[in-house]
Amino acid sequence: MKGVIEEVDKADKKLVKISIGSDAGVRKDHTLEVFRTSPKAEYLGRILIVDADFRFAIGRLMPQPGVTGAVTLMPGDEVAGKLR
C-alpha cells in the first residue's frame, strides 16, 4: 500500500495525516515507512498509525535508534507498507 502525507500537525510536528485509510487496509497500530523522493531519495523513518478512518489515517513518527537530529516530515512525503 502506498500513500502520501497530506498534513503535518502545526503543534506536534511528529503527527501527520496520510492519504490512505482503512479502505486501503490501514489499521490502528500498523506501521508504515516514510520516505522522500525529491530533491533526493531519502528514508525518513517509520510512523505508527494512531487512528484510521476509511479515507485517511493519522500517524506519529516513531523514534529511530541511532538517528541523531530531528526528522522533518512534510506534505508530499510518501508512506508505504505491506499488509500482514
Residue 81 burial (C-beta neighbours within 10 Å; 0-12, 13-18, 19+): buried
pTM: 0.89
Residue 70: partners with Cβ closer than 8 Å, 6 or more residues away: none
Return the C-alpha cell found at 39: 530533491
Domains defined along the chain, listed by start: 2-64+71-80 (2.40.10)
Predicted pLDDT at 70: 76
Predicted pLDDT at 60: 97
The Cβ of residue 16 has, within 10 Å, a number of other Cβ atoms equal to 24
What would the pLDDT profile of 3-47 be if each residue is shown by its tens digit? Answer: 999 999 999 999 999 999 999 999 999 999 999 998 889 999 999
Predicted pLDDT at 68: 61
